[in-house]
Every structure is written in structure tokens, then in C-alpha cells.
Amino acid sequence: MAGFRALAEQVRNPRLAATQRRTALRKCLERFAPYGHRATWHHLCTRAGIATQDREPDPERLVAALAELEEARALWLSYEAEFAARRRREKHDGIRQPDATADWHRRTWGGRDIVSCASPQRHPTARLAVVLRSMIVAMESGRPRRDCPVCGGTRFAWRPEPAGRPADRTALGPVCAGCGVVAPASVLTSEALTAAARSGGARVYSAA
């Protein structure tokens, strides 16, 4: 199975047909998709000016989308390396109990659903790297806040578990009404979480 770098080379390869290069970009999201596969694809297409269902998009737009994805991936890989080194030092010093940041990092290891979105069509508009950096800073600070770590919005609604079918656990929780991300509960104050639970999910998103 081809890795991310090999697939990225295919996206940039001018000798391949646009359909093949599009497929290679989609496969890149199987290796790294900060918002989840569908939401990350929708985000990249929106920013690069590609119709999500276009089977033969402009190759230059595909390369632009890839560049944004690679920028975010480089940031995340650097953070993963720093985090792993820190955990080794902590264990060496006898600190074995992981904190909220460690739990979040464990669930997002590999670069998927780092910043979950409740809907594939509703996500932050900023570049992926900007959003990831904001979330990393918020998680590392260890200080709960009342506003969204991504967009600064203060309205949240709890995303309920869809009735009649298994839920994606990463898409449950306090959803920001401003940018659509599911904020990790550990970054919000108890007051913000209580307000989100009272409002429920239906006011922000239907359980689709």
C-alpha cells in the first residue's frame, strides 16, 4: 500500500490523468485527514475551488489542495515527535499518569479526526495548519476556556447520538456554532459544557 509521500508524488505527476491524480489525493486522506475524511475533502475542495464530485478537476487546483494538506501534516508530525519525546522524559521521571492532552493525542494518533467536525459540509474556513496550531495551543495550555479554540465563538450545542444507528464517537460532544468543530471537552469550562448540554444538538445540526 502506497504511503502519503508516494501518493503526493502521484498528485503532482503531470504524466497522470486528472482522474488518477484526484484519486491519489483522496487516498492521501486515508493517511492524514484532520477533520475526518469527508470533511477534510470538502474543506480542501472548497479552498482550492474544486467541485467535490468533479472527476477531472484542474490539476493545478489539486496540487494547491495537496500543498495545504502537506503543510498541516508537517505541523502535526512535528508535534507528534515533540509530544512523544516529552512523554518519554515524563515516564523517565516517574510521571506515568497521562493528562487530558495525552488522552486527546492518543485518540488522534496518525492524524485522523484531530479536529472533528459534526458535519462534512461544516468546518473552519482557515487553512488546516492554522486550525491545527490553534487546537494544539489550546490543548497544551491546560486552561479550560469559554470560547472555541479555533474560531473564538462562544455558542456550543451538544451533538447527540444519532437514533437507531451506532454513533461516530469523535463527532459527539460540544459543537461550535461558529465553525462546526467538536471541541474536546477538556478545553472548555464546566459552564460552557453545561450550556452546550442544555441547548442540545438540534439547534446547530440535525442528527444526519
Q: Are 28 and 8 in contact (CB under 8 A)?
A: yes
pLDDT computed for residue 198 by the predictor:
87
Neighbours of 133 (CB within 10 A): 16
pLDDT computed for residue 5 by the predictor:
96
Q: Are 111 and 31 in contact (CB under 8 A)?
A: yes
> Can you give the residue ranges of every domain in the chain?
4-199
Instruction: For residues 79 and 34, give the distance between their C-alpha atoms in angstroms, rounded to a whole number.
Output: 14
pLDDT computed for residue 110 by the predictor:
72
pLDDT computed for residue 162 by the predictor:
47
pLDDT computed for residue 98 by the predictor:
62
DSSP 8-state code for residue 151: T
pLDDT computed for residue 99 by the predictor:
64
Residue type, 41: W
pLDDT computed for residue 100 by the predictor:
66
Residue with cell 508530525: 77
Instruction: For residues 37 and 26, give the distance between their C-alpha atoms in angstroms, rounded to a whole number.
Output: 8
Walk along the chain (208 residues) and give the pLDDT tens digit of each residue. 789 999 999 999 999 999 999 999 999 999 999 999 999 999 999 999 999 999 999 999 999 999 999 999 999 999 988 887 877 777 767 766 666 676 776 777 778 889 999 899 999 999 999 999 999 999 989 899 999 999 999 999 997 654 444 444 445 789 999 999 999 988 999 999 999 988 864 444 333 3
User: Residue 19 phi/psi, 5° resolution?
Assistant: -65, -40
Q: Are 156 and 188 in contact (CB under 8 A)?
A: yes
Q: Where are the alpha helices (DSSP H) in 13-58?
A: 18-28, 37-48
Please report how many Cα atoms fall inside a 13 Å half-sphere around the Cα of residue 178, on the Cβ side: 11
pLDDT computed for residue 208 by the predictor:
32
pLDDT computed for residue 128 by the predictor:
98
